[in-house]
Amino acid sequence: MNDTKTTASPRLDSKAPGGPIAERWDKHRFDLKLVAPANRRRFKVLVVGTGLAGASASASLAELGYDVTALCIHGSPRRAHSIAAQGGINAAKNYQNDGDSVYRLFYDTVKGGDFRARESNVHRLAQVSVNIIDQCVAQGVPFARDYGGMLDNRSFGGAQVSRTFYARGQTGQQLLLGAYSAMMRQVQAGRLRVMPERELLDVVKVDGIARGAMVRNLRTGELERFAADAVLLCTGGYGNVFYLSTNAKKSNVTASWRATKRGAFFANPCFTQIHPTCIPVSGDYQSKLTLMSESLRNDGRVWVPKAAGDKRPANQIPEDERDYYLERRYPSFGNLVPRDVASRAAKERCDAGFGVGPTGVAVYLDFLDAIARHGRATIEAKYGNLFQMYERITGDDPYTKPMRIYPAVHYTMGGLWVDYNLETTVPGLFALGEANFSDHGANRLGASALMQGLADGYFVIPYTIAGHLAGRSLQPVSTSHEAFDAAEADVRASVDRLMGIRGSRPADSFHRELGKVMWDQVGMSRTKAGLEDALVRIRGIREAFWGDLMIPGDARDLNMELETAGRVADFLEFAELFANDALTREESCGGHFREEHQTAEGEAKRDDENFCHASAWEYNGANKPFTEHREPLEFEYVHLTQRSYK
Amino acid sequence: MSANEHDETIDLTLKVWRQRSGGAPGQFETHEMKGVSVHSSFLEMMDVLNATLVRAGKEPVVFDHDCREGICGSCSMVINGQAHGAEPETATCQLHMRKFRSGETVFVEPWRADSFPVIRDLMVDRSAFDRVMSAGGYVSANTGSPPDANATPISREDSDQAMDAAACIGCGACVAACPNSSAMLFVGAKVSHLARLPQGQPERERRVVAMVQAMDSEGFGNCTNHYECSKACPKGIGVDVIAQLNRDYIKATVVRSN
């Protein structure tokens, strides 16, 4: 673990094809085995999660004729957290004639990811991006249009072209409803079963291959068995390990974590995206954080008082006593520096005592100049709905008072390690969307999450799953197989263990405590000493959890406290791997900033010599250290360069 | 009514509906909530109540929630007799405690409609909406090779109106607010969204008939023009979608059969 040289692990075969990058996906698709139409209904596919990745995969696979079952943690697939994405979806359509191309989107994504993603995967993502927009329009997704009836685009952080398609501030909602409606059509056709209110608690393997899952019916509390020929985890990211994040309350790491314990390697857990413009924490009752779209930085100016501890209201602080610190530090990009840079700069000012508002942990995002220059009507037309949302949550009017903002955890680039086929290190177990690690490297560009979720579900898995189904001779497995008996016994034992603690504290209280440690020491800015301290604290919270947790009610019944407790238990284990990954990666890149590794100007310093790899962690059993496996990353097309936004 | 600007906390008497299951009788349970931060959301106030209940070894109040930013449509509370409370265009999760007065008694109940049976306490089963959607709330377009997205221009007006209707979050407040438990705002929103777009035309008639049939068989009532649905809608969807639904339905049935 102390060896920092990148040597390829024989356990990680990326299966990325060679040859010219633009031809790789076509060639690979041709080389993959096919399942004949008449045979498809004999194959059972279990899709876990119904966000963009899961919904698009379930619908597409059912259309092809596979026998698909989709598990959904919500009451309806339409409530998955993809629904909350605001900004938009990138695609290399070049509708604006501004020089965009598949290659440029590929290039921007590799560079934006700070050179920690696999080139072959990113190029495929850029290639299929154009098909996604066509597909969504065909479903009736009401993207914004210009007066001529053509699709409109906006530009988004980290890109010099306009390639972001959007549906007001509700792009994720509209894309998810499109995929959901495609699912509902397959439900009607009898090719897809949706099982709502179900949570995966274990992956079941037979002869080393994923053949199903143990699932808890959240309505009744009963454990259920699902057998399948392939299992797709489309279960999202793990940002809620920080407790406070922009993720929905049900978002969790449980499916990925339990798969990790069954042999799927977990890659780059420390790559976390912190979004700079969120509504700050207002008190200890806070349950989540709300994102304010990145687009606000196009017109808003970020500042804090020049004097530390200045408690005057914003409008009483004269111009020459304000520090527009982004404009000062980054004169050419100013308020439009990328997400990670803007976030760290806000933290630096607040840590130094210049923060504003009652908590001192916020900075101003001020629109008064923009209103004076463009008029209130223009600003209202651009940001009216966002201003209204801000006012609803804070009670303050951003037309007359600057907004208060602070960074918050938003997205996680790490996830289950997958090869080019999106298959994890467990054969037959695939990971799609935010649940995998594959496309965004160490930092995700704005409007690329929706693109990746739908690319994986609509246009990648329908091909690559056939390689598994047709390529391996899968014997029929029923839910009475002894592997299910064993998995059920394990799940029941862990549920009983949680129920049996009978302490005094709700699960949520431990989760808050964990979140604070993660945010303070494993968040925006990390140090060796801080991470080592965090590891001790995480273990302490875990011990307290297993000694003093209280779950009222019965396990064989609807029991939301039990649901939360199971997820918190997993976060408490996962957090340790997360901190260890951050400790091992002795460099700064993208969403991972180690204070020991920065330039004289305080910018991230990457170490391509020693860390140009993905770290994939193998579980070795309870309380044993994980083994790190490294997949070296080669950059044949986009050459390694240092990012600069000065 | 809002809290005094300088008061950071308020005290409330909560009357919360508790019900074991759809078949069991329910009743209000009273909780005195002291020192509720005016900056907290309604659901955060409920979190505080639940943490107190759990610490006392009692079962917490079950309610549906997830995104807590007004878009997933999970949250569903009738607050002081109004679906999602009194604030216009605000889902329960975005309702903040500064909108309440100290000393106030606040009643919290589940959506009440036969088609949304109570699961427990404040949580109801809204799967009827999924069944109505599967009857026809889609465009039949397999994943594959659709035409280029710009092949068919769509006027900005049509596209904007489609988006207005498509903004529905499927929360069911329209049904909860309607004295007839009608789902016509929900169904009208989907029918109008797709009726505005060229992609929705080939299946337009079949869709409206199938969705209305499914809506009826789920036991939702009819619209008798109270317009409470639109008033309760957190996305402000207008009753014009019901007019569109009626027009399309008549065109597809009466006109067609003549």
**Is there a single domain that holds both residue A499 and residue A384?**
no
The ipTM assigned to this model is 0.97
| A565-597 tens-digit pLDDT | 999 999 999 999 999 999 999 999 999 999 999
Q: Which of A350, A381, A409 marks a domain boundary?
A: A409
Q: Which of B69, B96, B119 is the last residue of a domain?
A: B119
**Rounded to whole angstroms, how far apart are CA atoms A119 and A132?**
20
CATH number reported for the structural domain that contains residue A488 in this entry: 1.20.58.100
Report the C-alpha gap between B14 and B29 in whole angstroms: 8
Say what the pLDDT of residue A3 is: 47
Q: How far is A182 from chain B (nearest CA, A)?
A: 6
Q: How many domains does chain B have?
A: 2
Q: Which pLDDT band holds residue A158 (cuts at 50, 70, 90)?
A: low
Domain end marker among A390, A409, A428: A409
Residue A225 bears catalytic tag: no
pLDDT for B2 = 43
The range of the structural domain enclosing residue B42 comes to 9-119
Q: Are residues B25 and B85 in the same domain?
A: yes
Last residue of a domain, one of B69, B103, B119: B119
Q: Residues B3-62: pLDDT tens digits?
A: 445 579 999 999 999 999 999 999 999 999 999 999 999 999 999 999 999 999 999 999
| B-chain residue closest to A551, CA distance | B54
Domain count within chain A: 2
- Tell me whether residue B3 is in a domain: no
- Where in the sequence is the domain holding A321, given as residue range(s)? 275-409
Whose tokens are 């914003």? That residue is A314
Residue A197 has pLDDT above 90, yes or no: yes
The pLDDT tens digits of the residues spanning A484-538 come to: 999 999 999 999 999 999 999 999 999 999 999 999 999 999 999 999 999 999 9
The Cα angle at residue A93 between residues A90 and A97, in degrees rounded to 5? 115
Please report the residues numbered 103 through 132 in chain B whose beta carbons come closer than 8 angstroms to any beta carbon of chain A: 119-120, 125-127, 129-130
Closest residue of A to B161, CA-based? A142
Q: Are residues A490 and A573 in the same domain?
A: yes
In a domain, A351, yes or no: yes
> Parallel, antiparallel, or unpaired for β A230-233 and A429-431?
parallel
Q: What is the C-alpha to C-alpha distance for residues A468 and A422, in angstroms, rounded to an integer?
A: 11
Domain boundary among A409, A434, A449: A409
Whether residue B180 sits in one domain with residue B97: no
We report the CATH number of the domain holding residue A344 as: 3.90.700.10
Q: Check which CATH number belongs to the domain holding B99 and give it.
A: 3.10.20.30
- Nearest chain A residue to B118, by CA: A219
Q: B154 to chain A: which residues are within 8 Å by CB?
A: 145, 149
Distance CA B5, CA A396 (A): 11
Give the DSSP letter string of A318-386.
-GGGEE-HHHHH-TTTGGG--HHHHHHHHHHHHHTT---TTTS--EEEE-HHHHHHH-HHHHHHHHHHH
Residue B157 clears pLDDT 80, i.e. is over it: yes
Per-residue pLDDT reduced to its tens digit, B84-104: 999 999 999 999 999 999 999
Instruction: Report CB contact under 8 Å: B149, A137.
Output: yes
**Residue B4 domain-assigned (yes or no):** no
Residue B204 contacts A, CB cutoff 8 Å: no
Burial of A117 from C-beta contacts in 10 A (0-12 / 13-18 / 19+): buried
* Residue B233 located in a structural domain: yes
Q: Which of residues 343-402 of A touch B (CB under 8 A)?
A: 389, 392-395
- Clarify whether residues B181 and B89 are in a common domain: no
Q: In the listed set B119, B152, B186, which residue is the last one of a domain according to the structure? A: B119
